[in-house]
Structure 1
């Protein structure tokens, strides 16, 4: 049994432990945890990227479901799915995976406040159907339920992880190839190899993780050899790196300007939202901050989703109104190095269009709550569009449905909601994709979100490091086979 505890400390940035040939991997991540690695938050993606926690279902490169902690499944009825658990799975605390444990994990997620965004608009109940079988029922037919259960926010943790006060402590509670043994607040974490992993022990003996919001510092870690695997190197730093030490990955990630469309604000006026749409020139953003390592957006979904090129022409655009000195607050976050520069360019463009702009830039952990509360008129977000389920419908609902859990723009449009319901209820994949593109067109008609560009993320990989994942969906990074050299 592995005993683990979270140790929260404060202090300045601590560099990763220097490797003296012991095979440990120094991993440099962009954003620090915001919720002590709770799976019900975006921290869940750190649990999967670091090999701590696993889900019932995995996804292949095309977004099709594959076995994970569930070895198989079947649809038992219009709203009922049965999942058979993989035998021989043990948690880091020595307990075994069974139906009761899986039911507890999924029920806790369904009852969490706030609910994980993958469950936005979804009501589900989970019951045991035997020692190793779990039945999941939804209030309405959900043809994408297996893909939904692949979200890291629905990771299955040992029963002891779930605290009486509703918090979740993942230390020593996952099933992945690495055990979380220490979380040092926003500074870093330590992980050790889990020798009892159901698919065999990891090749690397452990991980030393640093959270480094500053992009130049992350690139420096790769150049100086203190980082073996480095997340999200800024485009401006990529040219300073040695060839062969980084990979440019086309991402299903869109840099979008969300406009606060709530009644009473400046952009409650559709004509002024249209004025912003007309004022934005993306070309200098792509050639400037992104140094041409990005693609100008034609919609919310980009070239990493090939079928999005079949989108219908836009229609129903509102004519732009004339801005007459309206004061607006434009906000973004500093964790992605390009975004403050993007904001500065947009500030100039919007002021030329007649707005008076106040610019706000903070770290993401310090600005997300205010953005969700509608405290800004405009917010620039680098947003993954298939992050949760591998299916863009989940992202569109979360961001643009009236009851969406990540509705930064406060959009509440009956036509948008109807189009989203049509897309979400469709089981035939070809038809579903066409309906997703119809929903995208309805969203773009409102000008509540103005897509600017699709990013290509640069990931650093030091010489000799093998087996790191270059995952467009940003779910995987360190895997069971990730290692230094032939270790």
Structure 2
């Protein structure tokens, strides 16, 4: 029989053990697995979502976007138009970089100078191309000049991660990969980077904002979908992204894990070489003969390739309904979506007639390239598209490769037809109009992801006018007009908008994000 004092000691011991257990739980590192590797730790290297979401743990931007792409203050507490071509940003005080340096307006000015100097497959310069002047007013005030009114500058700056001026001029991306230059203001600090394997980060205890939820983040890259799911089910990781469509139903009924599902603003599309007048590298006649002119310059050929694709079938059978058939870059109910753009019908007979009208009654031969490690079911999608094209007489070979290999080829303009994805993470279509289907002009940071080098000066002019228009309603109408023009001309072939699916171990929840980013701070214990 226990005495009252023994029962009290036992109760106190139990409380102590419970407290230790809770402390240990809070101190537990978060191990997460993502499906695509970053190309670099340099936050200005590549406008690729896997790069951006790694950077977002360690670096910050002047403005931020929440899970639904709504804008909020970041390192800038507020911003205003001083006049029609001058934006003023008031910066947070008391913010320090990971190396102890104070964050000031000089760091913002340094960052804006650095971004366009970074050699990149797809530069962040597209987001600062409108800035023609930078004025440091004081340590926590900076003014940015634009040549014409430009209402989207605060939106664009949500993509530019701030680095300290103490890094000096000409700091190489390799310095970030080695950790020597990986100095931000974010909630986590860099520990190590093992390319294509993992990034390790630790909590920044001097962070200006709310204390980071996890004391350490083990950010693993597991590109194989089956291995990623297995790592979650075995307890090796607590969070995964891009749950394979074939496993969604099974995982939804597994009481060990919890799914988080949401829509995205990422369009999966096919790009075509519309630039070359003569021979295009991957296009031949029906018997492999060299063609004197590039068929893809003919809009009828591009339309034929588009309407030969059965989008609902891809959504249902390949994507297992974890996607939405698309006819433009923005999904329904988003800013800039144009309901007047018709759905793209599946019409293989008309496709054959269009090819014949264009002078190819016996069809063509083409190679369709795409990644096998980046988007949901990417290699399966190009295989299915190839089968559909072959049925209209376009003999199609498929070459699926790692994204890094594909981007190298695209950057050298060595492809005629390719699959890529583009996320309008700013919540409106300006970046797709500028970067993906805008006329390529590196001096203006335009068309930097336009690997088919499509060009439509009239569309460019309308998009430029939209970027100068301060009234939201008028700007949206101009963006819709530009997008409609690009889609009518088959600037690219839209396929579908991805839906996002994450999975966590039971006891955790993940807040779905329309920008697809997988972030440690979006993961929290269930309430």
User: Counterpart of 2:263 in 1: which secondary structure?
Assistant: strand
For 2:451, which of 408, 411, 420 is the aligned residue? 408
User: Counterpart of 1:200 in 2: which secondary structure?
Assistant: coil
Once the two structures are TM-superposed, the CA of residue 189 in structure 1 deviates from its matched residue by 1.1
Matched, 1:182 2:192: yes
Report the Cα distance in structure 1 between the residues aligned to 2:83 and 2:118, rounded to whole angstroms: 26
Stretch moving more, 357-366 or 21-30: 21-30
Once the two structures are TM-superposed, the CA of residue 117 in structure 1 deviates from its matched residue by 4.8
Q: How many residues align?
A: 459
Stretch moving more, 172-181 or 373-382: 373-382
Q: Is the 8 A contact 1:142 1:425 kept in 2?
A: yes
Classify 1:311/1:383 alpha carbon distance in 2 versus 1 (closer, same or farther; 3 Å). Answer: same
Q: Is the 8 A contact 2:41 2:55 kept in 1?
A: no
Matched, 1:333 2:387: no
Which of these two proteins has the greater Rg computed from alpha carbons? 2
Report the Cα distance in structure 2 between the residues aligned to 1:220 and 1:435, rounded to whole angstroms: 47
Q: Is the 8 A contact 1:37 1:47 kept in 2?
A: no
Matched, 1:145 2:153: yes
Once the two structures are TM-superposed, the CA of residue 54 in structure 1 deviates from its matched residue by 0.7
Q: Which residue of 1 aligns with 2:52?
A: 45
For 2:301, which of 272, 276, 280 is the aligned residue? 272
Report the Cα distance in structure 2 between the residues aligned to 1:108 and 1:144, rounded to whole angstroms: 21
For 2:137, which of 129, 151, 163 is the aligned residue? 129
Q: Is the 8 A contact 1:262 1:409 kept in 2?
A: yes
Once the two structures are TM-superposed, the CA of residue 412 in structure 1 deviates from its matched residue by 0.8
For 1:169, which of 158, 169, 176 is the aligned residue? 176
User: Counterpart of 2:232 in 1: which secondary structure?
Assistant: helix
Report the Cα distance in structure 2 between the residues aligned to 1:310 and 1:62, rounded to whole angstroms: 21
User: Counterpart of 1:371 in 2: which secondary structure?
Assistant: helix
Q: Which residue of 2 aligns with 1:214?
A: 224
Once the two structures are TM-superposed, the CA of residue 179 in structure 1 deviates from its matched residue by 0.7
Q: Is the 8 A contact 1:160 1:173 kept in 2?
A: no
Once the two structures are TM-superposed, the CA of residue 62 in structure 1 deviates from its matched residue by 6.1
Structure 1 gap ranges (5+): 1-19
Summarize the alignment of residues 77-476 of structure 1 with structure 2, pairs less than 5 Å apart.
Answer: 77-114=83-120, 115-119=123-127, 121-151=129-159, 154-161=160-167, 164-167=170-173, 169=176, 171=179, 172-243=182-253, 245-263=258-276, 264=278, 265=280, 266-303=295-332, 305=334, 308=337, 310-312=339-341, 320-322=354-356, 323=360, 324-335=362-373, 336-384=375-423, 386-387=424-425, 389-403=426-440, 404-466=447-509, 468-475=510-517
Stretch moving more, 57-66 or 276-285: 57-66
Once the two structures are TM-superposed, the CA of residue 374 in structure 1 deviates from its matched residue by 2.6
Once the two structures are TM-superposed, the CA of residue 105 in structure 1 deviates from its matched residue by 1.3
Q: Is the 8 A contact 2:500 2:516 kept in 1?
A: no
Q: Is the 8 A contact 1:419 1:439 kept in 2?
A: yes
Stretch moving more, 303-312 or 278-287: 303-312
Q: Is the 8 A contact 1:372 1:407 kept in 2?
A: no
**Which structure shows the bigger proportion of residues in helix conformation?**
2
Report the Cα distance in structure 1 between the residues aligned to 2:390 and 2:250, rounded to whole angstroms: 34
Offset from partner CA, 1:278-310 (integer Å, 9 cap, x none): 211112211111112211113222136266253
Once the two structures are TM-superposed, the CA of residue 471 in structure 1 deviates from its matched residue by 1.1
Q: Which residue of 2 aligns with 1:5?
A: none
Stretch moving more, 155-164 or 373-382: 155-164
For 2:519, which of 472, 477, 482 is the aligned residue? 477
Report the Cα distance in structure 2 between the residues aligned to 1:475 and 1:291, rounded to whole angstroms: 22
Once the two structures are TM-superposed, the CA of residue 428 in structure 1 deviates from its matched residue by 1.3
Report the Cα distance in structure 2 between the residues aligned to 1:333 and 1:307, rounded to whole angstroms: 28
User: Counterpart of 2:138 in 1: which secondary structure?
Assistant: coil
Question: TM-score if structure 1 supplies the norm length?
Answer: 0.87
Q: Is the 8 A contact 1:55 1:155 kept in 2?
A: yes
Q: Which residue of 1 aligns with 2:37?
A: 32
Structure 2 gap ranges (5+): 1-23, 281-294, 345-349, 441-446
Report the Cα distance in structure 2 between the residues aligned to 1:29 and 1:106, rounded to whole angstroms: 30
Once the two structures are TM-superposed, the CA of residue 61 in structure 1 deviates from its matched residue by 5.8
Once the two structures are TM-superposed, the CA of residue 217 in structure 1 deviates from its matched residue by 1.8
Report the Cα distance in structure 2 between the residues aligned to 1:91 and 1:123, rounded to whole angstroms: 25
